Amino acid sequence: MLNGKSILITGGTGSFGRAFVRTVLERYQPAKLIVFSRDELKQYEMQDELDAKRHDCLRFFLGDVRDASRLDMAFRGVDLVVHAAALKQVPALEYNPFEAVMTNVLGAQNVVNAAVRRGVAQVMALSTDKAVNPVNLYGATKLCSEKMFVAANHFFGEGSQFSIVRYGNVMASRGSVIPLFIRCRDQGQPLPITDERMTRFWITIQGAVDFVLGRIAAMRGGEVFIPKMPSMRIMDLAQAIAPGAPVRHIGIRPGEKIHETLLTIDESRNTVKNDDLFLIKPSFIDYASPPDMKPVREGYSYSSADNPRWLSIEDLREKLQVI
């Protein structure tokens, strides 16, 4: 599906971006694979890591999604854009709200406008469980971003298709709690716990990449795709990484929830499902449900607290290869 295509990923040097690029290079033969990001050092390291000389399709494009003219230049001749660029550290964004809006909201608008101007056929934007009933600024900006990408299908009419993948915490991504727990364990320090009741949806980086690639093949524009993921308890994660280690209760940080939600009761009215995923249909576009999917029951919500799928301590150890 990607052979011969020109593909650009914003935020391409982040955790997801690096895994996405590696996977595309392994499985497909794109005409171009453009890594768009604002950090020249990370691009240099990524070129060295991937042995860029072996991959004629690879391009590295310095730029920021805040810069509309730079995006317009980067999107020339591009068939598919995966929009992964975002500021996402919840506590930092609570104290730097204008920066969050500039990247996550205005940057998303720039991506939409550049894609339409350059005739990009498909745009897949990455979102987060934090966008659902948001209590922090990061979630609020990602909710705005979701609304803009869905509405772009209606506002601009025929041409570019815009869809969204919404998922939970990515296991061992940069800035996640796992590297912090491992560092505390290795240094003999107590593990910081915000609240023992806390639960989260969990997905591996490769799992996220595979899901996004699958949805690119299936997208028609306007959908929000949600994978069915297991939940995990924060105390189970602590035991998986550092069995018997002492913990230090630090309290919930600004903008943090006890449990996360990926699908609300109100959204369920427009939602269909199969064994692997939920699909929120666009409400203002004539959209026929895929034949293998059926509506969710009335009043349904998908929360990390009452998820039927759970990761045990043993599951976590296996996935993290933590002994």
Average pLDDT (304-309) is 94
Beta bridge partners of 247: 191
Which residue type, as a one-letter code, is found at position 269? R
Residue 160 lies in a domain: yes
Range of the domain at 297: 6-168+203-229+262-302
Question: Does 130 qualify as catalytic in the annotation?
Answer: yes
pLDDT score recorded for residue 221: 93
- If one counts the domains in the chain, the total is 1
pLDDT band at 172 (very low <50, low <70, confident <90, very high): low
DSSP state of 310: B
Query: In angstroms, rounded to a whole number, what is the distance separating the alpha carbons of residues 138 and 11?
Result: 16
Segment among 95-99, 176-180, 198-202, 205-209 with least mean pLDDT: 176-180
**What was the pLDDT predicted at 203?**
92
Task: Tell me whether residue 198 is in a domain.
Answer: no
Indicate whether 182 belongs to any domain: no
**pLDDT band at residue 322 under the 50/70/90 scheme:** very low
For residue 143, being part of any structural domain is answered with yes
pLDDT band at 155 (very low <50, low <70, confident <90, very high): confident
Does a structural domain hold residue 317? no
**CATH number of the domain within which 163 lies:** 3.40.50.720
Q: What pLDDT is attached to residue 323?
A: 41
The residue-averaged pLDDT of 288-313 equals 94
Q: Give the global pTM.
A: 0.93
pLDDT of residue 35: 98
The pLDDT, as a whole number, for residue 287 is 87
274 belongs to a structural domain: yes
In a domain, 53, yes or no: yes
Q: Taking 70 as the threshold, does the pLDDT of residue 49 lie above it?
A: yes
Cα–Cα distance, 71 to 36 (Å, whole number): 9
Average pLDDT, the chain: 93
Q: What are phi and psi of 235, to 5 degrees?
A: -70, -30
Residue 82 lies in a domain: yes
Q: How confident is the model at residue 175 (pLDDT cuts 50, 70, 90)?
A: low
SS3 content of the chain, % helix, strand, coil (to 5): 40, 20, 40
Task: Kindly name the residue from 130, 142, 257, 273 that is annotated as catalytic.
Answer: 130
What pLDDT score does 157 carry? 64
